[in-house]
Amino acid sequence: MAAGMAVTDPAKEATTRFLRTQFHRYYESTKPTLPDRFGRREFGFMFWTPGIVQRHLGFSKEEELKDFLVSRVPTHAYYSSAYYDHPNAPTMEEKGWLGADLIFDLDADHLPKAASMSYAEMLEAIRLKIVHLYDDFLQSDFGFDPKAMRLVFSGGRGYHIHVFDERVWSLGSHERREIVDYVTGKGLEVGSVFRESAFDRKDFQGFTRVKTRLVAPTSEDAGWRGKIMRGVNGLAAKLEGLSPNEAIKFLTSFEGVTDADASNLYDNLFKPRATKPRIIRGIDRLREGQIESLSDRSRDLIIRLVKELQPVRDDAQAGVSLEGIVQRGETDEPVTSDIKRLIRMPSSLHGKTGLRVVTLTRGAIDDFRPLRDAVPKTWTDDRVHVNLKNKITMEIRGEVFNLAPGVNDVPQYLAIFLAARGLATVVPEA
């Protein structure tokens, strides 16, 4: 062999060839889902050779896009959240920016316990978070019409929400950052959601003494006031369902919460207070809106925990990257790419899973399970020999597989998933 020639890996080559063939088959038999204002979008693609990226492409007809997908067979396909005068111009200045959708991207990679979760568990955890973002922020607080929002399974480990309400199109980076700050609770003074109310006043020798009490918001209140109170009641209810030891263990799992803090809060909530005609506890008064029935120490702790439990955050601890608006880890720097971001194209395939990028309604996402519902119908039950690195236990398309390391004979749909994720190679034909 000539010096300097790269050594080929037959298994790796066979795997790439296999995946590319199946992706080609998919794109040949599938009608692409076109974004709104399709002709104003920039498209970008990644291919089977790492590092090869092609962007600054525009398509004016569906047939052009389909022909590109069938002939070039990309591993990943994206389009811009922005609209342009000339989407295929080579520089941003020449494109002529007209506006952009608002894109939220929640990725399971950043979940605090992602390393110990299975793929299916990660997907379920992030599905619950995207529903919370959709229901409790975008629809409830911002009032976006469901007809102007689209939920999308990314094909990988996350979900997106595309807001294409025309009121957001013209927003710049600063305004989009403010939306993120609101959603993530940045700078939220939790104490400000409670107000003091005078309930007793006494005048004595020229002095006035006023007694005040804290008045909590109701669960029905708009914005963060209602969220905090729903969170307080929800956390109290969760603790009520646990044994004392389990509750203490759960509370001390939060950073900075000592056994003494946890015990104090638990007693404050659940220790019976003998009053007639019934025995009443702190949690019962809390449910009646009497937050002052808790000690200051317990009240401050439960509110801090509620804020930490709010699932939509953009920091590493709470694990959400709001891609398209702000880049994780760079929240203190001006972000210029947020209004020109490329987002994964619905109906395309994800090169690292072989799953479809699926558009979902709010009603459909509750029962959506990616490993059942995002496996393309194009993938068959034909048997494929794959070489597994490690043992695998997983469910896909409703069938459970327990596979040992080494060569296994598996259905094509599972072979594609394992090969795309790098968990197996396809055995080269002799």
Distance of CA 170 to the CA centre of its chain: 25
pLDDT band at 319 (very low <50, low <70, confident <90, very high): very low
The mean-pLDDT minimum among 74-88, 234-248, 307-321 falls in 307-321
What are the catalytic residues? Answer: 105, 107, 332
Rounded Cα gap, residues 12 and 425, in angstroms: 7
The mean-pLDDT minimum among 89-98, 326-335, 421-430 falls in 326-335
Rounded Cα gap, residues 313 and 258, in angstroms: 24
pLDDT > 60? residue 335: no
First to last CA, the chain: 22
Ordered by start, the domain boundaries in the chain are: 9-19+376-430, 31-183+318-371, 190-309
- Amino acid 234: pLDDT: 83
The mean-pLDDT minimum among 37-41, 286-290, 354-358 falls in 286-290
Give me the amino acid identity at 99. G
Q: How does the average pLDDT of the chain come out, rounded?
A: 83
- Amino acid 391: pLDDT: 95
Q: Contact at 8 Å (CB) between 35 and 345?
A: yes
CA dihedral 139, 145, 148, 149 (to 10 degrees): 30
CATH number, domain 9-19+376-430:
3.40.5
Q: Give the residue among 382, 374, 372 at the shortest CA–CA distance from 349.
A: 374
pLDDT band at 314 (very low <50, low <70, confident <90, very high): very low
Rounded Cα gap, residues 207 and 391, in angstroms: 78
Counting Cβ atoms within 10 Å, is residue 98 exposed (0-12), middle (13-18) or buried (19+)?
middle
Q: Regarding predicted confidence, which is higher, 285 or 90?
A: 90
- Amino acid 182: pLDDT: 84
pLDDT > 80? residue 26: yes
Backbone angles phi, psi at 368, to 5 degrees: -80, 130
pLDDT band at 317 (very low <50, low <70, confident <90, very high): very low
Matching CATH number, 31-183+318-371, of 3.40.50.720, 3.40.50.300, 3.90.920.10, 1.10.3720.10? 3.90.920.10
Q: Contact at 8 Å (CB) between 56 and 45?
A: no
* pLDDT (tens digit per residue) in 182-221: 887 777 776 666 666 656 667 677 677 666 566 666 777 7
Give me the amino acid identity at 31. K
Distance of CA 8 to the CA centre of its chain: 38
Q: Contact at 8 Å (CB) between 270 and 283?
A: yes
Backbone angles phi, psi at 278, to 5 degrees: -140, 160
